[in-house]
């Protein structure tokens, strides 16, 4: 049997196994849901009660409640955000609703709040959650911070490098150019959760497609999603596959806006291909590339689906970035205060990126007017 036929046979067998596993999983979930509907409903009610911040436990709400009814500040807040019933008014703008949500997030980040079904309620702890994250050199925060930086920088670097190479190649006219562009855009069009589960099945140990190919080639199977040292690099590989098309199509648009006259003039002056790339292509691509890279940083920094769904069920910290670790603190450890503190830090970092992105857009708009 040829190598190609063996690979096809392994792929078909893995596809049948995946369908069978998904069917069994769905049947198990339906059965468990029918048996535990009442338990889940009670747990959801307790979770809702605990997550709703009362006046006595929420420092911001407590401060608000102490304002006199005729106080200008309180009446102004009532008119601005609330309709008198404690919920956002019908005329509240998105900014006002966002301000309300942010106040709740910040207030929770200065509380100590334990698991849903525990009898310990929230209590005010000031900035202790932040000190526990930032003040200890052995804190998980610093390890997760380094992993987040490594994750973001590595992904964006390969997004840009591979995307630029593909854009330069597809910017040339050749037969089938349009078809290749459409094929390369497929990973960007696939929903992230579909891509994550597909790659999870392919990297499955020991019977996944990737390990099947390794065995056919004479290598031993590798536990990509069980080895702490390989989980993050595996997720990086998947995210690079998913993110390259966006960078490629953005840079391709920038390349097509560069005038051919500039290259013709450089050719007359005796410039070679490398000199034209350094002195014409890169400078002309800089405005588009800066915005694309910054958007890539924002999206990659906050990429939850790929890491969480690919490594689903594995609690090792070696594969976590900020967003997945904050979610783990909330769902697994029940540390709502710590998770909220993480969320505030993540929001602060993303706001700085967004501010930079906004300034770049404004600069390009000013250049366009002049």
- List per-residue pLDDT tens for the chain, 370 residues long: 554 555 455 545 554 555 455 455 555 555 655 555 555 455 545 544 444 433 344 443 443 344 444 333 333 334 334 444 444 444 445 555 555 555 555 554 545 554 444 445 566 666 777 777 776 655 688 888 899 999 999 999 999 999 999 999 998 888 888 888 888 888 888 888 889 999 999 998 888 899 999 999 988 989 998 888 899 999 999 999 999 999 999 999 999 988 888 989 998 888 888 999 999 999 999 889 988 998 899 899 988 889 989 988 777 888 888 888 888 877 776 677 777 777 788 888 888 888 887 787 777 777 766 6
Q: What is the pLDDT of residue 362?
A: 78
Write the DSSP assignment of 216-277 as a string of letters. HTTPPP--TTT-HHHHHHHHHHHHHHHHHHHHHHHHHHHHHTS-HHHHHHHHHTT--HHHHI
Q: What is the pLDDT of residue 236?
A: 95
Single out the residue of 322, 323, 324 nearest to residue 314, CA to CA: 324
Single out the residue of 120, 101, 104 nearest to residue 112, CA to CA: 120
Q: What domains can be seen in the chain, in order of their start residue?
A: 37-126 (no CATH), 140-369 (1.10.3720.10)
Q: What is the pLDDT of residue 52?
A: 41
Q: Rounded CA gap, 352 and 98, in Å?
A: 17
Q: What is the pLDDT of residue 148?
A: 92
Share of the chain above pLDDT 90, in %: 22
- pTM for the complete prediction? 0.66
Single out the residue of 10, 8, 4 nearest to residue 212, CA to CA: 10
Length reported for the chain: 370
């Amino acid at each position: 049997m040829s190598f190609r036929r063996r690979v096809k046979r392994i792929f078909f067998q893995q596809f049948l196994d995946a369908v069978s596993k998904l069917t069994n999983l769905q049947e198990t979930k339906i059965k468990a849901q029918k048996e535990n509907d009442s338990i889940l409903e009670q747990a959801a009610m307790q979770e809702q009660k605990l997550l709703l911040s009362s006046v006595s436990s929420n420092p911001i709400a407590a401060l608000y409640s102490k304002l006199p009814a005729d106080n200008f500040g309180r009446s102004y807040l009532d008119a601005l955000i609330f309709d008198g019933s404690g919920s956002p008014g019908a005329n509240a703008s998105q900014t006002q609703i966002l301000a309300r949500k942010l106040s709740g997030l910040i207030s929770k980040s200065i509380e100590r709040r334990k698991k849903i079904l525990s009898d310990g309620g929230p209590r005010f702890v000031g900035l202790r959650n932040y000190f526990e994250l930032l003040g200890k050199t052995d804190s998980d925060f610093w390890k997760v911070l380094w992993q987040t930086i490594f994750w973001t920088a590595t992904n964006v670097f390969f997004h840009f490098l591979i995307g630029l190479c593909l854009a330069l190649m597809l910017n040339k006219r050749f037969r089938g150019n349009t078809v290749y562009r459409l094929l390369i855009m497929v990973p960007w069009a696939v929903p992230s959760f579909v891509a994550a589960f597909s790659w999870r099945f392919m990297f499955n140990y020991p019977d996944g497609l990737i390990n099947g190919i390794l065995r056919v080639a004479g290598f031993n199977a590798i536990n990509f999603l069980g080895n702490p040292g390989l989980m993050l690099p595996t997720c990086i590989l998947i995210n690079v596959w998913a993110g390259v098309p966006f960078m490629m199509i953005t840079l391709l648009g920038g390349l097509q806006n560069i005038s051919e006259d500039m290259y013709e003039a450089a050719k007359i002056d005796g410039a070679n291909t490398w000199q034209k790339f350094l002195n014409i292509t890169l400078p002309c691509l800089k405005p588009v590339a800066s915005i694309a890279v910054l958007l890539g940083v924002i999206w990659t920094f906050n990429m939850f689906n790929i890491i969480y769904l690919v490594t689903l069920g594995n609690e090792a910290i070696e594969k976590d970035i900020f967003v997945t670790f904050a979610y783990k603190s909330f769902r697994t450890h029940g540390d709502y205060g710590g998770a909220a503190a993480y969320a505030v830090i993540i929001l602060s970092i993303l706001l700085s990126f967004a501010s930079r992105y906004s300034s770049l857009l404004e600069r390009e708009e000013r250049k366009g007017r002049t």
